[in-house]
Amino acid sequence: FFIAVPKTEKRLKILLIVSLLIALVARFLPAPEGISAAGDGWMWTRFASHNRFDALLVGVLLYLLSSEINFKEYFKPSRIEVNIISIIAMLGIFILPGIFVDSQVDRFNHLIFELCSGVLLLLSVLNTGHLLDFKFITPILNWIGSRSYGLYLIHIPAEMFVYELTARGLILSNSQSLILWMILTLSATELCYRLIEKPLINYSRRPLPVLLNS
């Protein structure tokens, strides 16, 4: 997308057009059998959730805007202001699922989560030095951030593997299943990062002439 459409103005227009087309198509798709059509928008909610379309949309828009706008010039918050914004965004991510249960506005929950995440991402991109820094939590968050793509790819296959084990007769309690899933997910993610992601990242950072001659 970024290679095919090099100009930011065109990127924004194309992104908007594609988003509207997908939204229209998804909105008129029928809900599966057994699902009440509480549902103009049922398929759009599920499409956005399962395909992370809204998250990708927010991420791309954030990138396009940050590449065109010098946020640091207009946004110079104090440490207290950034902490308040961070706390509100984090509370939104953690509390909103309970608010949206059995709610008519359920279809918007994923978008709101991504917007809250986008705020936190923007604050970190600005690198204001004011983000909440907890001595014991920050290293964990850094680990998760550096391996987030692997976690995203691996957590579902690991979950299905544990489910398959229990379906085939392995007796595990819920807590044991959770622990096994976490061990598999974290181990596979770390292996993926060290054996695949990190070598590719290092390779991509090589100077262009070296890449052309290799």
Domains of the chain, by residue range, sit at 134-207+210-214
pTM: 0.54
Q: Identify the sign of the CA torsion 106, 107, 112, 113.
A: positive
**Higher-pLDDT residue of 174, 22:** 174
Give the sign of the dihedral formed by CA 85, CA 86, CA 89, CA 95.
negative
Helix (H) or strand (E) holding 45: helix 42-51
What confidence tens digit (pLDDT) does each residue in 65-102 have?
666 666 666 666 676 777 777 777 777 667 665 555 55
How do residues 115-139 score in pLDDT, each as one tens digit?
777 777 776 666 655 555 667 777 8
